[in-house]
Structure 1
Amino acid sequence: MEMSLLSMNRSYRHMKRYRQVISVLVKYGFSEILARTNFWARFPISKKLLRGKSIEGSYAVRIRMALEELGPTFIKLGQILSMRSFLIPPELAQELARLQDEVPPVPFAQIKPFVEKELGRELGNCFQSFQEEPIAAASIAQAHPAVTGDGQEVIVKVQRPTAREIIATDMEILMEFAQLLEKYVPEIEQYDPVGIVEDLAKTTKRETDFLNEARNIELFARNFQEVETVYVPKLFRDLTTSRVLTLERIKGVKPYRPEVLREAGLDPKVVAQNGGRALLKQIFEDGLFHADPHPGNLFILPGNIIAPVDYGMMGRLDSHLMSLFTDALIAVTRKDVEGIIRVLTQLGITDERANLMSLRLDIAELMDSYYGLRLGQINLRQAIERGSELARNYRVRVPSNLLLLGKALGTYEELGRTLDPEYDFISEARPYVRRLIRRRMSVGELSRQAFKLLRDTYRLLRVLPGELELIVTRIRKGNLSVQLQHRGLEKLIAQIDRTGNRLSLSLVIAALIVGSSLIVQINRGPRLFGYPAVGILGFVIAGIFGIWLIITILRSRNL
């Protein structure tokens, strides 16, 4: 009950934003979803919002346009969904990948006091100069060129002053809506809307804390301190907070097209190789990788040196995930379908309703389609998309870090082939994969795994007798309880609850009418229009309740 009241308080507090979200969804033709979730029954929002004209176009385009109009949180939701191509149709994933995060900048009059408050000093004491107009402005932050006190050129990334508040409000709205979708739209439950919103909450929390990005930069710099082909911009820690990030300004060439690199005296083929090897090192050696290596996030310096920027979206592969990733690679090289199924099971990402026999056959067919091809003939991005389609068909839920890995690999392979049509990313990866497999199959690693297995088995055997004894004791005493969870009854319970409320109100109305009739019949007490006032008041109240009840029934379309 207390949680329900808290939820209601939040809903009323954010009513203005709720109205904005609903009006945008109606504008782009999604009023049916609102109707199915019974959204307006939970929030006092006029149904006039649902009668507006809708913009025409394919559903994928309309979804993208709606997310762009709704702002940073919804744009980030679209970006997360675009990576989960195993969940959504390919045309929607492709459209969401085009999401634009460009908005008018916050005026300098608001930025200046915000930066001064964050850094605890006046702007003039931090920088020799600070450009008022940003060179880039997105929904969460904008970037201003500046010069430090000792004359170093920097980029100051400043979070929008209201970004966190807007995101917090939007997260509450999205969670509310996701719960309603799971409750009232059964066919959407398989996509795990609540889980997606929870993932979004973690992502936005990381990306709105610039100290997290600062830590990523420091880790990157340490990992590449001895690699001459990669340059990591210098971080200015004393000019960095959770909402302001100051980095060395990188002046280089964006690798959008090979001719642009050639004009700058750079070699596109070498750039493609250097970037690919840098990404492979991140994945196979460091376990920390840049998850969005598109041309806008890369600068090329003289000498074909790669300088990545924007370290907000990073992926991590811990020892457990890397071990399973290696097992999957070994299974693929051996065409071991059972091995792949085993990895999926260990990751806990196979849906219990999935048909494993059919999944085995489709995995084997996918692997056979690449049999006999040279590595250079395999399109990695296309292979990832086919794997995503397979995952979507069998409701396989992929961990977020593996999604980021697939995104990074697919994005960079496309960039590499843009710079050099003969670039073979898979061949570049082969030495790393071989080293990884050799390490996995080495005597030392096998001994370590065997020791870990023995240790875990020993721990299990040590506690097992006590646990079994406890279960037997509870059975003897009749204290063993089994918890059952009923699913799919929420809609029925809500309907019964509404019916009960209407019936109760009908009885109250009937009682008011009967009681008022008796009072009028007795004809005593204060008079109003020649009749007992209490009786007249009872009729008025009964009439108001009756009209309200009739309107409610008609609006629900359940006569």
Structure 2
Amino acid sequence: MVLPRPDKGIKSLMRYRQIATVLIKYGFGELVYRMNLVSPLKPGAKKTKAVAQSTPVRVRLALEELGPTFVKLGQVLSTRPFLIPMNYIIELSKLQDQVEPMPWSLAVDILSGELGKPVEDCFSEIDPVPIASASLAQVHNATLMDGTPVVVKIQREGIKKVIDSDMRILYDIADLLYKNIPESRHYDPKGIVEELSYTTFKELNFLNEARNMEIFAENFKNEPVVKVPKIYWDYTTLKVLTMERIKGIKISRLEELKKAGFNTQLICKNGSRLILKMIFEDGFFHADPHPGNLFVCEGGVIAPVDYGMMGVLSDSQMDELADLVVTAMSRDAGAIVRILQNSGIVPDDVNTRALEQDINELIVKYYHMDLSRIEMKTALDEFITLVQRYKIRLQADFMLLGKALSTYEEVGRMLYPQFNFFAEIIPYVRKLTARKYKPGRFYKDILKILNELRWLLVESPREWRQIASKLRKGEMAFQLQHKGLETLIKELDSSSNRLSVSLLVAGLIVGSSMIMTVDKGYMIFDVPLLGLIGYLVAGVLSIYLVVSILRSGRL
């Protein structure tokens, strides 16, 4: 039975129970009990044959069964190599987000409500059978009144309320993890839920995806080998996205491409131009470039679709990337460590000498290797292993970048087995390093230094005066925060509760025994009813106490 939570509605309580049931089903009962998510007396679910599979597989299956919010949670976790092992990252990358489409009548109601007029006044025809159906939205082929072929993405009815409810529950679960399972604090459950909330609600606003497409189109306006679908703003809202229909073949359908007469080597070259320009030149890249999201059009033109998830690299991140590449090429492992430390992603207590040695070994391994023999995925896996070993908190956008590069390398070698991705990267890396030394960049850096100097000379003394003033007035307060005592406090609280129950049981037994010696009041078989009730209550409380102690694993 789910523990009562007076601030939650009945639907939320049912959702709590569903989450607990699914977790127990896939063999995570201990986690559920340690969080106090269910009563120890009524687990409410049984393990299934799924528990025979590996833990990463069970995690993926549980997240898929729990729905879209938890699928997104898995996707966020898959970009956190410093938090979870590589086998979990690989398994979470397989998360499937495919569900049955919503009824066509409901989709029509959403369309007419969002567009402000009947569907037949917007489209001359629209296919009621979707070409794709996911947990957040489904996509239909349609034709505008002027005959333009388009695709229409329609958000699922009520999905925002579902995700909003799940987010509140996830915040509660993160809080329970933090309070009841101290070892979970390393994983920062609250921070993960906050990022999940931000990214998911941004995806629910289809205007964001439409703007992403416009930015992408602007970046590639002078690139004839890349096509970005046009947005039809008159038929686009928060919940409806209407875009140009791409006429092409999915890049993964190799046999169809060959039958259509496409040059797969040319497609591979055009695709590498797409992926490398958007990362190393624009710093604004398609974060999910799997084969299903890439189409090949006439002339070998590459057309990406689904712009809901984009990676963005700031100028400072681009500079860090350039510095890391330059120092790696010069075999300066010490400089790499300093760059990582300056970016604030290396723990303070890390063994820098050991980190430098491991980075140097990685550089030496690949430095003299022929570029055609280097596999991006293998190199990335080794780097992630190093990140995990030293608990380096790599930014999510860098992880998305690595994932995009390794994914396209696989696509490229599928199209053209002799594809040498590293050889294609070298010219872009040189451009990336050269951008720091352009005259315009020097001007921006000088302005930045002057602004910081102005703050130091003008603003800093003012802030020190404010601090001194507060000290004189006695308004300065210092906050002390203890660390490491939470577990002790929890144990003392648990022990005191058990002691209280034990004293209550003892009192009931003694009191009931005394009542048994009195021949007054209601009697059952010449035994006082009140005494029997006292024994019964004492017995139930005793069983509860024993069960809770056994479940805690500490006698």
Q: TM-score, normalised by structure 2?
A: 0.89
Cα deviation digits, residues 6-45 of structure 1 (max 9, x gap) = 975237541111122121111111112212323225xx99
- 1:157 Cα deviation after fit: 1.0
- Which of 277, 283, 303 aligns to 1:281? It is 277
Q: Within 5 A, what are the aligned runs for 1:257-406?
A: 257-406=253-402
Residue in 2 aligned with 1:21? 19
Give the 3-state SS of the residue equivalent to 1:206 in structure 2.
helix
**Which region of structure 1 is more displaced relative to structure 2, 199-208 or 483-492?**
483-492
Residue in 2 aligned with 1:109? 105
2:552 aligned with 1:529:
no
- 1:189 Cα deviation after fit: 2.7
**Structure 1 residues 143 and 338, CA, compared in 2 at 3 Å: closer, same or farther?**
same
User: What letter corresponds to residue 486 of structure 1 in structure 2?
Assistant: H
Give the 3-state SS of the residue equivalent to 1:369 in structure 2.
helix
**Structure 1 residues 498 and 248, CA, compared in 2 at 3 Å: closer, same or farther?**
same
2:546 aligned with 1:554:
yes
- 1:323 Cα deviation after fit: 2.0
Give the 3-state SS of the residue equivalent to 2:296 in structure 1.
strand
User: What letter corresponds to residue 128 of structure 1 in structure 2?
Assistant: S
Q: TM-score, normalised by structure 1?
A: 0.88
Contact 1:370 1:378 survives alignment (8 Å): yes
Give the 3-state SS of the residue equivalent to 2:355 in structure 1.
helix
Residue in 1 aligned with 2:125? 129
Residue in 2 aligned with 1:39? 37
User: What letter corresponds to residue 287 of structure 2 in structure 1?
Assistant: A
User: What letter corresponds to residue 32 of structure 1 in structure 2?
Assistant: E
Contact 2:111 2:119 survives alignment (8 Å): yes
Cα deviation digits, residues 171-216 of structure 1 (max 9, x gap) = 2222322332333333333222322222221221121111110111
Q: Distance in 1 between matches of 2:238 and 2:467?
A: 50
- Which of 23, 28, 31 aligns to 1:30? It is 28
Cα deviation digits, residues 214-244 of structure 1 (max 9, x gap) = 1111111222222111111111111111111
Give the 3-state SS of the residue equivalent to 2:306 in structure 1.
coil
Contact 1:28 1:56 survives alignment (8 Å): no
**Structure 1 residues 284 and 324, CA, compared in 2 at 3 Å: closer, same or farther?**
same
Contact 1:85 1:385 survives alignment (8 Å): no
**Which region of structure 1 is more displaced relative to structure 2, 17-26 or 299-308?**
17-26
Q: Distance in 1 between matches of 2:361 and 2:459?
A: 44
Cα deviation digits, residues 225-274 of structure 1 (max 9, x gap) = 22111111111111111111111111201111544322112111111111
Residue in 1 aligned with 2:180? 184
- 1:395 Cα deviation after fit: 0.7
Give the 3-state SS of the residue equivalent to 2:45 in structure 1.
helix
Q: Distance in 1 between matches of 2:353 and 2:9?
A: 46
- Which of 137, 141, 161 aligns to 2:137? It is 141
Q: Distance in 1 between matches of 2:131 and 2:396?
A: 31
2:116 aligned with 1:120:
yes
**Structure 1 residues 298 and 203, CA, compared in 2 at 3 Å: closer, same or farther?**
same
**Structure 1 residues 420 and 65, CA, compared in 2 at 3 Å: closer, same or farther?**
same
- 1:308 Cα deviation after fit: 0.6
- Which of 455, 462, 477 aligns to 2:458? It is 462
Residue in 2 aligned with 1:425? 421
- 1:277 Cα deviation after fit: 1.0
- 1:165 Cα deviation after fit: 2.0
User: What letter corresponds to residue 251 of structure 2 in structure 1?
Assistant: P
Give the 3-state SS of the residue equivalent to 2:367 in structure 1.
coil
Contact 1:190 1:395 survives alignment (8 Å): no
Residue in 1 aligned with 2:432? 436
Q: Distance in 2 between matches of 1:6 and 1:315?
A: 41
Residue in 2 aligned with 1:211? 207
**Structure 1 residues 480 and 542, CA, compared in 2 at 3 Å: closer, same or farther?**
farther
Cα deviation digits, residues 366-411 of structure 1 (max 9, x gap) = 1111111233332122211111111111111111211211111111
Contact 1:75 1:99 survives alignment (8 Å): yes
**Structure 1 residues 256 and 512, CA, compared in 2 at 3 Å: closer, same or farther?**
closer
**Which region of structure 1 is more displaced relative to structure 2, 203-212 or 368-377?**
368-377
User: What letter corresponds to residue 23 of structure 1 in structure 2?
Assistant: T
User: What letter corresponds to residue 325 of structure 2 in structure 1?
Assistant: L
2:1 aligned with 1:9:
no
Give the 3-state SS of the residue equivalent to 2:141 in structure 1.
strand
**Which region of structure 1 is more displaced relative to structure 2, 441-450 or 134-143?**
441-450
- 1:153 Cα deviation after fit: 1.3
User: What letter corresponds to residue 522 of structure 2 in structure 1?
Assistant: F
**Which region of structure 1 is more displaced relative to structure 2, 13-22 or 485-494?**
485-494
- Which of 150, 156, 161 aligns to 2:157? It is 161
Q: Distance in 1 between matches of 2:510 and 2:90?
A: 65
User: What letter corresponds to residue 100 of structure 1 in structure 2?
Assistant: Q
User: What letter corresponds to residue 96 of structure 2 in structure 1?
Assistant: Q
- 1:291 Cα deviation after fit: 1.0
- 1:363 Cα deviation after fit: 0.8
**Which region of structure 1 is more displaced relative to structure 2, 148-157 or 370-379?**
370-379
Give the 3-state SS of the residue equivalent to 1:155 in structure 2.
strand
Contact 1:86 1:390 survives alignment (8 Å): no
- 1:520 Cα deviation after fit: 12
Residue in 2 aligned with 1:199? 195
Q: Distance in 1 between matches of 2:28 and 2:4?
A: 28
2:53 aligned with 1:57:
yes
For these two proteins, the number of residue pairs brought into alignment is 546
Contact 1:119 1:241 survives alignment (8 Å): yes
- 1:426 Cα deviation after fit: 2.2
Contact 1:502 1:549 survives alignment (8 Å): no
**Structure 1 residues 136 and 473, CA, compared in 2 at 3 Å: closer, same or farther?**
closer
Contact 1:516 1:536 survives alignment (8 Å): no
Mind listing any 5+ residue stretches in structure 1 that lack a counterpart? none
Q: Distance in 2 between matches of 1:288 and 1:75?
A: 24
Q: Distance in 1 between matches of 2:458 and 2:333?
A: 35
**Structure 1 residues 517 and 146, CA, compared in 2 at 3 Å: closer, same or farther?**
same
Q: Distance in 1 between matches of 2:259 and 2:199?
A: 38
Residue in 1 aligned with 2:63? 67
